[in-house]
Structure 1
Amino acid sequence: MPFPRSGRAFQSLSAAAMSALLLASAMKHFRDPGFFRQVVPDYLCLEDTHRQGLGDGGATASGSVPATSTAAFDGGPEPGRRRPLAVMTREEWIAVSGLLELAAAVGILVPLTRKAAATALTAMFIVFLAGHADALRRAYSNEGTPLQRKVHTLRLPLQGPLIVWAWSLRKPALASWPWQ
């Protein structure tokens, strides 16, 4: 007895599942941005995280960076060193990545944009590897906690399946299952 679903239906279901995951993650970026703070590498951030506190990234209670921040010229242990990749604050990076995930969630659902969205999503997940690796490095430093070590040790390897899954959505759907 043939299975009633075609390859196209399976790919649409896979795209919908990926879209739901991305939508949930995008919503979390805006509801709980603190969850993503450790995943944004310091070298991308304008605020001086080393001198103003590793835990809060230099933000005040209102979420703004204090006026005494040295912006892109902070260098942590090397105060004169410029961070050439520091173009936004940590909060801005979190918001932008949330917006990118939201756009990918929509783009992956539309068959006409699926290949382009899946390609961009694959690239985004690959770029996110740097943040996860940096968070893992910091978790195992002297400032890291046992909970951070557990979380980031589990979080980094999850990027691999996400990359493969996003890449698989680029391929055209098969006309039918192999056993039909």
Structure 2
Amino acid sequence: MNSTPSLRKALDRYKFLLRVLMSAFVIVAGTLHFLIPAPFIKIVPDYLPAHALLVYVSGFFEILGGIGLLIPPFRRAAAWGLVALFIAVFPANINMAVNDIVLDGIPHIPLLYWLRLPFQAVLIAWAWWLSRPEPNPAAIT
């Protein structure tokens, strides 16, 4: 028995909620890039230039992507933009784990740095799924 169609129907049924959740997540994360940029700047790999500028640009695009997810004509483009953004910031996550970067005010638990890496794949897959065309309501009932 193939459970994929039933899983797809269940996910489609909750697509609105999952879109709003992703939107809130990236808007909050993007806002934090402006409110407390220091931890984000600290994890940008040394080989990249203009660390602060990269943090502000990525925060701006996180906020923009989160807002775009909520506006029907922009949903798909925003989701694809978030896929690209999650891929683009992955080197910072790797840098944090590999170099065991300690962030002020955050408990230092190196295992969590490493667990964050596969979570980035979850975010990419989630944003990709949100980029898919909206389901036909009759098909998910």
Same fold, TM-score > 0.5, yes or no:
yes
Moved over 6 A (4+): 6-9
Report the alpha carbon displacement of residue 23 of structure 1 after superposing the two structures with TM: 1.0
1:29 maps to: 33
**Secondary structure at the counterpart of residue 94 of structure 2:** helix
> Is the CA contact (8 Å cut-off) linking 1:15 and 1:109 kept in structure 2?
yes
Alpha-carbon distance in 1 for matches of 2:140, 2:54: 46
Report the alpha carbon displacement of residue 38 of structure 1 after superposing the two structures with TM: 3.3
1:118 maps to: 79
More helix, by proportion:
2
TM-score (norm 2): 0.78
Seen in structure 2, the aligned counterparts of structure 1 residues 99 and 32 have a Cα distance that, compared at 3 Å, is same
The residue identity in structure 2 corresponding to 1:40 is V
Report the alpha carbon displacement of residue 7 of structure 1 after superposing the two structures with TM: 7.8
Quick check: 1:17 aligned with 2:21? yes
Alignment of 1:149-168 (within 5 A): 149-168=110-129
2:5 maps to: none
The residue identity in structure 2 corresponding to 1:23 is I
Alpha-carbon distance in 2 for matches of 1:136, 1:28: 20
The percent of aligned pairs where both chains have the same amino acid is 32
Seen in structure 2, the aligned counterparts of structure 1 residues 163 and 179 have a Cα distance that, compared at 3 Å, is closer
Report the alpha carbon displacement of residue 37 of structure 1 after superposing the two structures with TM: 2.4
TM-score (norm 1): 0.62
Over aligned residue pairs, what C-alpha RMSD do you find?
Answer: 2.5
Q: Which protein shows a greater Rg?
A: 1
Alignment of 1:49-128 (within 5 A): 89-128=50-89
Seen in structure 2, the aligned counterparts of structure 1 residues 177 and 39 have a Cα distance that, compared at 3 Å, is farther
Unpaired segments ≥5 residues, structure 2: 1-9
> Is the CA contact (8 Å cut-off) linking 2:12 and 2:140 kept in structure 1?
no
> Is the CA contact (8 Å cut-off) linking 1:7 and 1:176 kept in structure 2?
no
